[in-house]
Structure formats: C-alpha cells, structure tokens
Amino acid sequence: MNAQADEEETVIFSRIGELSDEQLNNSGASKLTFVTDKKEAEKMAELDIKNGIPFLLLMGGIAPTIIATDPIFEKEYGIYFFEFGCTGSENEIIIAYNRIIFEHLNSTKGKKWIKDVRDDVIGFKDWKRNNKRKD
C-alpha cells in the first residue's frame, strides 16, 4: 500500500470560503449584477472596504480560473477574489468597483501588490497604465 494514500492533503482554493453566506450575499460583489450606475458601484466598493470584505472582481467562463497564488495574495492583502463566471455586471460597473479597491490597496499596502495581483482582474491593466502616468 502506498504511504501517501494515508495522508490527507488540503488544498485551499480561495479565502472566500471564510466568509459567511450572509457576508457574501450582502457584499457589493454579490449585488453588483443589479447595479447600473458607476457611482453606486463605487459606493458598494467603499462599503465592502469598510466592512472588511473587499473583493477584486474577475470575469470567467463556465469553470472558475483559480491560480495557486490566489489564497496567498488574498491573505497578504486582505482581499477576496470574486469571479462572476459567464454572466455578470457590465464591464464599466466592474471597473468602477475595482478602481476603488485598487486605490484602497495602494493607500494601505503600498505598490507591492501591483506586482503580485492577477493580470486578469477587470480594469487592472488600464488602471496600472494610468497610475504610472501620475507617478
């Protein structure tokens, strides 16, 4: 018998499992699908920050894309990744939400997060390009 068969291995895919159903269901990320105004999306991001449950929003496909470093990033920066799947809010709404989270990360964590974050976070590449111009 293989000795490895007796050992259990735990793989953590995301810290989002640490949230209660109530926290997740009341988060801006969950409610964003029903938002049509960028200002409202920004307010939801600010509220999520205030409540200690900020998200970086992703668009995916049928199956979520999980990168091995996601839980490490989430824990280090106090962020949760949230992937909408095939359907989600309008891109401009997601970008408005994420932009507030980017600014929050910048002001609380410095610029290190920029090298560590997933490139497929909606609006990140444009935000990063525009942010470099300000420096």
- What is the predicted pLDDT for the residue at 12? 46
Separation of first and last alpha carbons in the chain: 60
Q: Residue 57: CB partners within 8 Å, gap ≥ 6?
A: 29, 32, 82, 83, 84, 88, 94, 97, 98, 121, 122
Quickly state the pLDDT bin for 132 (edges 50, 70, 90).
confident
- Residue 27 phi, psi dihedral angles, 5° rounding: -75, 155
**Cβ–Cβ < 8 Å for 71, 15:** yes
More confident residue, 23 or 97: 97
Asked whether the predicted pLDDT for residue 79 surpasses 70, the reply is yes
More confident residue, 51 or 1: 51
pTM of the model: 0.85
